[in-house]
Amino acid sequence: MPGENLSREEARARAAILSVERYDVALDVRSAVGPATGAGPRTFRSTTVIDFRCSQPGASTFADLVAPAVTSVRLNGRDLDPARVFDGARIALDNLAERNTLVVDASCAYSRTGEGLHRFEDPEDGAVYLYTQYEPADARRVFANFEQPDLKAPFTFQVTAPEGWTVLSNGAADGEPVPAEGGGATVSFVPTQPIATYITAVLAGPYHVEHDHYSRTLKDKAVLDIPLSALCRRSLARHFDADAIFEVTKQGLDFFHDAFDYPYPFGKYDQAFVPEYNLGAMENPGLVTFREEFVFRGKVTRPSYEHRANVVLHEMAHMWFGDLVTMRWWDDLWLKESFADFMGAFAQVEATEFTEGWITFANRRKAWAYRADQLPSTHPVVADIRDLEDAKLNFDGITYSKGAAVLKQLVAYVGRDAFLEAARRYFTRHAYGNTTLADLLSVLAETSGRDMAAWSRAWLETAGVNALTPRVGLDAEDRVAELVVEQGAAQSHPTLRPHRVAIGLYRRDEEGALTRYARAETDVAGPSTAVPELAGQPRPDLVLVNDEDLTYCKVRFDAASLDTLRSHLGDLTDPLARALAWSAVWNLTRDALMPAGDFLDLVLRFAGRESDIGVLQQLHQQARTALTRYVAKDARAAAGQALAAGALEALRAAEPGSGHQLAWARFFAAVAAAPADLRLLQGLLDGSEAIGGLDVDQELRWTLLGTLAAQGAADAAAISAERARDDTASGRRHEVRCLAARPDAAVKAEAWAAVVDSDALSNALVEATIAGFAQDGQADLLAPYAQPYFAAIEELWAKRSIEIGMSVVRGLYPAQQDDPRTLAATDAWLREREDAAPALRRLVLEARDDLARALRAQECDARR
């Protein structure tokens, strides 16, 4: 829609003349229940009062609102004609005074895409649930506003909802609910602190709520008391472990109060787990929202709990980095996301039981960053964000995980104390304000005494990832005569950076364990750096550059070290060193420097010995990618059979009832294809087969059935019967995925039409349909959709919300047609559609790069 994609220049121009004093927003959501009326979307009433100043009286600007209809617009007592001033996305405001009051009465649409005010009807009990999600700019789908992060203001919300509903917002309720004329009740909330529009929030529905509180005595002897609550749908309450969530919440509040020395500034702390959520979570102050998949319906492994704890702490870090102090524009998105990603892991390791957090960070989060940093769309951590579509796509591995890794390097560079003191000064100096890169660098320079401008140029203002490779020279006594670390970079992003690294030397001992016997920490700079501290050490079997994961780089090996890993990777006793080795060999595979078959051999030989279950699950995911994308096509069948056989052997050998057993069961189900393997899956489903200690609960049942459906061994009747066992929202999503996975041309046509030709499905069901449709191993069935994909995406991008557009463009790209013809078709579209939306072109370029990488890897594997 014209006007929806706000540009940076428009935002700057508006901020130059406006300052907002307050918002009063009244929402009436009683229409969420009962039958829908009329032919259009189901709507709710939204009334907004904005008091704002203009430094240039007589100037013109606009307010943002995306709504089906506007009933009235009044500016400074003048009634404006909605038909003249409202274009569907903006309200034109002319002849502004120095002080202004804007009143907008509108009919806004409930969302089915997770953007704006999302409405969900629980199939289990018919209950209706509402919640808002705005980042980066969807508050305008709920109330009129100035939708940019640097026009912060206090907000006062009032919500009229059906009787008996729980209604929450950022602030605490201001008194008891008041009966509303015509039924229901109105809840008013106290004004918020000055915050940005994108972190305001409203939630309403018959939620299950549990309560707790957090108390702390501050340095000035004042007592901080924070009411806590945790919410989920009523039908999930039997699975809800709120006590565990409260425990992590309190541990996090303790950690951040100690680290930041700035009291939590937003009063209460509610955490709601909501249905059909597009994100992991959102840091709305006082009302954090999470995807409800964090309420575990069955048995999960420890990394699932670790991940949930990390997300809780990530969002909590945002209360300071992002909510208290907010970036001026989305260029500096990293000022909140990079810091939250880093501080989430930092707090997790130091304050909770999940002390393995840095291993997970090294192996999983940085894998996301390495991939993103090698795409054609890579960008500096401090990005060039032209508009809101750019902003939406920059919630990526660069902004989150590379930025967090860079901050980990920064802590090694300036020291922990200087880093935390800089954070404290930053919050005190800029509380409730907006900042840029320069504001953060100035406090870091103050506390560290370091040249932060040079550090920033190297790490924050350039793109790309460096590779560090050791070169070892030995003397006549078989000792290290010279050890040099060589630094390389891609031609497209040739910057060589300063790295603070640890280099570890490892040897196998008499018991065969591969352990570190020498270590040096040094600053690597330029193309070659000698490490004289290690001269004279006995010959190493393995040299591990970036031991302890201090910097952000791709680790390479000298020939002798790589030979050692091929034979003895599983003998590395240190779990972080082992995780770094796995990460390095995976990067070699992705870069077509190691055949994918060799990587799978390493997995088959050593993954069964992996003690860290998070690393194991990452290896499972990478092995699936290697099998379906990087192994040469004529070798895939044999590689798949070997992988399935190895997975089954590890499954049977795993400790009964353990997380490792569950992880191997899920992996075996993912790669099973042989008739005997499918019979075992079917037997586990119907109870005719059993593996000691393995609980085939409902979630695992859906995993097994998904494979059977994709292999043509489960029909629609079997899937419907499983849905009858699990008549829940989760069951519905699994049913849709399994139905679309069946290897049948008519099934694929129906799934394609449901996603591309119709917008009737919710965001969650779009995701489930795509997951079922785009099955590996069904290339022939999916081939007819390659050309229609390129014909459809531009119109689809223009007509659908950006969230749905991203899901469809990414999910339906014909990656299964992994041959040069698909690459050529992609290149042809990019040539012919140079004027397509930049964000759309970025998504297609990224998909093309993944395909080109896969083809290079297949060529490497074919030479094996």
CA distances from 311 to 347, 433, 509 (A): 11, 25, 40
> How much is the average pLDDT of 440-466?
93
> 76 and 218 share a domain?
yes
Query: Please, which residues have CB within 8 angstroms of residue 4's CB and are 6 or more apart in sequence?
Result: 66, 89, 388
- Inside any domain, residue 768: yes
Determine which one of 283, 315, 337, 735 is catalytic. Answer: 315
CB atoms within 10 A of CB 118: 25
Q: Which two tokens stand for residue 67?
A: 């709504």
Q: How far is CA 352 from the centre of its chain?
A: 22
Q: Write down the pLDDT at residue 4.
A: 85
pLDDT digits 0-9 by tens, 297-353: 999 999 999 999 999 999 999 999 999 999 999 999 999 999 999 999 999 999 999
- Inside any domain, residue 239: yes
Pairwise CA distance, residues 612 & 610, whole Å: 6
- Inside any domain, residue 725: no
> 46 and 86 share a domain?
yes
Quick one: which of 397, 160, 200 has its CA closest to 286?
A: 200
> 344 and 284 share a domain?
no
pLDDT digits 0-9 by tens, 240-288: 999 999 999 999 999 999 999 999 999 999 999 999 999 999 999 999 9
> 89 and 220 share a domain?
yes
Q: Is the pLDDT of residue 379 over 60?
A: yes
Of all residues in the chain, what percent carry a pLDDT higher than 70?
100
Q: Which residue has the tokens 């091929």?
A: 566
pLDDT digits 0-9 by tens, 563-605: 999 999 999 999 999 999 999 999 999 999 999 999 999 999 9
Q: Which residue has the tokens 């406006």?
A: 18
> 136 and 213 share a domain?
yes
Q: Which two tokens stand for residue 817?
A: 């047609």
> 295 and 438 share a domain?
no
Expressed in angstroms, the distance from the first to the final Cα of the chain is: 52
> 212 and 116 share a domain?
yes
Q: Which residue has the tokens 């992991």?
A: 280
Q: Which residue has the tokens 């992880």?
A: 663
Q: Is the pLDDT of residue 534 over 90?
A: yes
Give SS3 for 339: helix
- For β-strands 178-179 and 269-274, DSSP reports them as unpaired
pLDDT band of 412, cuts 50, 70, 90: confident
- Inside any domain, residue 520: no
Q: Write down the pLDDT at residue 396.
A: 92
Catalytic residue check, 315: yes
Residue pair 198/133 in contact (Cβ under 8 Å)? The answer is no
Residue pair 505/517 in contact (Cβ under 8 Å)? The answer is yes
pLDDT digits 0-9 by tens, 787-816: 999 999 999 999 999 999 999 999 999 999
> 363 and 231 share a domain?
no
pLDDT digits 0-9 by tens, 589-648: 999 999 999 999 999 999 999 999 999 999 999 999 999 999 999 999 999 999 999 999
- Inside any domain, residue 730: no
> 209 and 256 share a domain?
yes
Q: Write down the pLDDT at residue 3.
A: 63
pLDDT band of 40, cuts 50, 70, 90: confident
DSSP one-letter string for 133-183: E-TTT-GGGTS-B--STTS-B-EEEEEEE-TT-EEEESSPB-SS-EEPTTS
Lowest mean pLDDT among 94-98, 336-340, 453-457: 453-457
> How much is the average pLDDT of 122-141?
97
Pairwise CA distance, residues 549 & 365, whole Å: 12
Number of domains in the chain: 3
- Inside any domain, residue 545: no
CATH number of the structural domain spanning residue 395: 1.10.390.10
Examine residue 376 and say whether the peptide bond preceding it is cis (omega within 30 degrees of 0).
Answer: no
Quick one: which of 554, 582, 550, 564 has its CA closest to 505?
A: 564
> 265 and 390 share a domain?
no
> 770 and 849 share a domain?
yes
**811: containing domain:** 743-864
Q: Write down the pLDDT at residue 1.
A: 47
> 293 and 351 share a domain?
no
Q: Which of 459, 493, 514 is the last residue of a domain?
A: 459
Pairwise CA distance, residues 393 & 529, whole Å: 37
Q: What is the pLDDT of the chain when averaged over all its residues?
A: 96
Q: Which of 440, 459, 478 is the last residue of a domain?
A: 459
Torsional sign, CA 27, 183, 39, 104 = negative
CATH number of the structural domain spanning residue 33: 2.60.40.1730
Pairwise CA distance, residues 357 & 363, whole Å: 10
DSSP code, position 387? B
- Inside any domain, residue 468: no
Angle ∠(2,119,399) on CA atoms, nearest 5: 60
pLDDT digits 0-9 by tens, 205-219: 999 999 999 999 988
- Inside any domain, residue 112: yes
Give SS3 for 465: coil
pLDDT digits 0-9 by tens, 350-363: 999 999 999 999 99
Q: Which of 459, 484, 499 is the last residue of a domain?
A: 459
Pairwise CA distance, residues 569 & 126, whole Å: 53
Angle ∠(554,313,387) on CA atoms, nearest 5: 70
Q: Write down the pLDDT at residue 716.
A: 97
